[in-house]
C-alpha cells in the first residue's frame, strides 16, 4: 500500500512524486467509460439484460421479477480485473449460471441465484486466478467435474451473448455502431442513456494534448463523441479503439499514442484495474528514451465504491474524483511552474 498518498487539492489524492511529475505532463490519455462518459445506465444494464435474455433462450425459468444479476453485482467482476470488456463480463455471468444449473440439475432462476457461491464470492475467486474469463473458468472448474464443464461449454454460446449485448446497447442503431442488424432487440438502445462527464471547452482550456485508449470500437466511440461534442478534441492517430486490434491491458496502445504525440510525460486516466495494469506495463516495458506515464485512477467508475481501495492497494501515485478535478489541479501546477 502506498502510504504517501494524501489529499493535495479538492478531489485529488497524490504522492509527492506525482505532484512533481504532473508539472511536466503535456499529454493526457483517457479511457472513455466512467472517465469521459457516464455509463452507469448503459453498460451495466446491458450486461443484466443480456444475461436474462440468453438464459431465457437456454430454458431458464424466472418469475419476471428477480434478475439473474444486478448492476451492483457487475462491479464485483470489474474489481476482480480482466473484465474491461462488458461483453466478456456478460459471457462470464452466463457461464456461472450454466455451471450452477449443471450442478443443481435445475434451471429455476430464483433458486440458482440463491445457490452458493454468490456473485461476490465467484468474482473474488476469479481474481485469485488472474481475473477475466480465464480466471473465472479456472475458478469454476474447481466446482464441477471436467465432463460436466465440457457439457456446459457446449451450451455457452459466446457469440450469441455478444450479439445480444450489442443489440441491447445500440438498439435500432446496431448496424451503424456494430455493423450488425438488430434482430432480437428493437427500439432505442441503452447507449442513449449515457451522459458526458466532460465538455469540449473544459478540455480545450486545459494546457494539454489528448489521446484515447478505450475498449470501445470505433462506432461506439463516434456515438459518444457525437453525444458529448468531442469530435475535434482528439487527433485520429491518438485514438486507440478495439477496431485497431489493440486491447487493454496491452500497453501498445500507450506506445502508439506517445509515438504520435511525442509527450514529455503522459498521464493515463482510467477507472479500473485493467487501466492501471496497462499503465504499469507501459512503465515496465518503455525504454529510457521513451516518456514516462503517470497513472491517474478516476474514482466512481466501473468498480463503484471499491475504486479507492483497489487503487490504493496497487500503490498508485494519483487519484481524482473526476477529470474536471484532475485538469484543474494539473493545469494549476503547470501554470505555477511557468510563472516561477
Instruction: Verify that 135 and 268 share a domain, yes or no.
Output: no
Long-range contacts of 219-226 (CB under 8 A, 24+ apart): 219/176, 219/177, 219/178, 219/179, 219/243, 220/169, 220/177, 220/178, 220/191, 221/32, 223/170, 223/173, 223/177, 223/191, 224/32, 224/36, 224/37, 224/194
Instruction: Verify that 235 and 262 share a domain, yes or no.
Output: yes
Query: For residue 308, is it within any domain?
Result: yes
Out of 191, 213, 231, a domain closes at 191
Query: For residue 1, is it within any domain?
Result: no
Q: Residue 90 belongs to what domain range?
A: 43-191
Structural domain tally of the chain?
2
Instruction: Verify that 130 and 33 share a domain, yes or no.
Output: no
Q: What is the pLDDT of residues 178-213, one digit of tens each?
A: 999 999 999 999 999 999 999 999 999 999 999 999
pTM above 0.75, yes or no: yes
Q: What is the pLDDT of residues 232-291, one digit of tens each?
A: 899 999 999 999 999 999 999 999 999 999 999 999 999 999 999 999 999 999 999 999
Instruction: Verify that 175 and 224 share a domain, yes or no.
Output: no
Query: For residue 282, is it within any domain?
Result: yes
| pLDDT at residue 231 in the model | 84
Out of 191, 222, 238, a domain closes at 191
Query: For residue 13, is it within any domain?
Result: yes
Instruction: Verify that 328 and 290 share a domain, yes or no.
Output: yes
Instruction: Verify that 164 and 293 share a domain, yes or no.
Output: no
Query: For residue 259, is it within any domain?
Result: yes
Query: For residue 97, is it within any domain?
Result: yes
pLDDT score of 312 more than 80: yes
Amino acid at each position: 500500500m502506498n502510504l504517501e498518498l494524501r489529499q493535495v487539492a479538492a478531489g485529488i489524492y497524490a504522492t509527492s512524486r506525482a505532484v512533481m511529475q504532473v508539472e511536466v505532463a503535456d499529454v493526457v490519455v483517457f479511457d472513455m467509460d466512467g472517465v469521459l462518459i457516464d455509463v452507469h445506465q448503459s453498460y451495466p444494464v446491458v450486461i443484466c439484460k443480456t444475461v436474462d435474455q440468453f438464459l431465457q433462450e437456454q430454458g431458464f425459468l424466472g418469475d419476471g421479477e428477480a434478475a439473474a444479476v444486478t448492476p451492483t453485482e457487475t462491479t464485483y467482476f470489474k474489481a476482480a480485473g480482466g473484465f474491461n470488456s462488458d461483453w466478456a463480463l456478460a459471457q462470464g455471468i452466463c457461464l456461472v449460471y450454466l455451471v450452477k444449473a449443471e450442478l443443481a440439475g435445475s434451471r429455476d432462476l430464483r433458486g440458482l441465484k440463491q445457490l452458493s457461491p454468490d456473485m461476490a464470492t465467484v468474482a473474488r475467486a476469479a481474481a485469485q486466478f488472474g481475473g477475466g474469463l480465464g480466471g473465472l473458468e479456472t475458478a469454476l472448474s474447481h466446482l464441477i467435474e471436467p465432463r460436466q464443464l465440457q457439457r456446459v461449454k457446449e451450451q455457452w454460446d459466446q457469440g450469441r451473448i455478444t450479439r445480444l449485448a450489442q443489440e441491447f446497447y445500440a438498439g435500432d442503431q446496431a448496424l451503424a455502431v456494430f455493423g450488425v442488424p438488430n434482430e432480437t432487440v428493437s427500439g432505442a438502445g441503452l447507449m442513449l442513456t449515457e451522459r458526458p462527464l466532460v465538455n469540449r471547452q473544459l478540455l480545450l482550456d486545459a494546457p494539454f494534448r489528448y489521446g484515447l485508449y478505450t475498449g470501445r470500437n470505433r462506432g461506439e466511440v463516434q456515438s459518444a463523441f457525437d453525444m458529448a461534442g468531442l469530435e475535434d478534441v482528439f487527433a485520429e492517430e491518438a485514438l486507440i479503439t478495439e477496431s485497431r486490434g489493440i486491447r487493454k491491458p496491452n500497453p501498445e496502445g500507450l506506445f502508439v499514442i506517445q509515438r504520435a504525440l511525442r509527450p514529455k510525460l503522459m498521464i493515463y486516466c482510467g477507472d479500473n484495474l485493467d487501466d492501471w495494469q496497462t499503465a504499469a506495463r507501459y512503465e515496465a516495458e518503455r525504454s529510457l528514451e521513451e516518456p514516462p506515464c503517470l497513472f491517474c485512477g478516476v474514482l466512481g467508475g466501473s468498480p463503484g465504491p471499491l475504486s479507492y481501495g483497489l487503487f490504493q492497494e496497487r500503490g498508485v501515485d494519483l487519484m481524482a474524483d473526476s477529470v474536471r478535478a484532475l485538469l484543474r489541479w494539473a493545469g494549476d501546477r503547470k501554470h505555477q511552474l511557468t510563472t516561477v
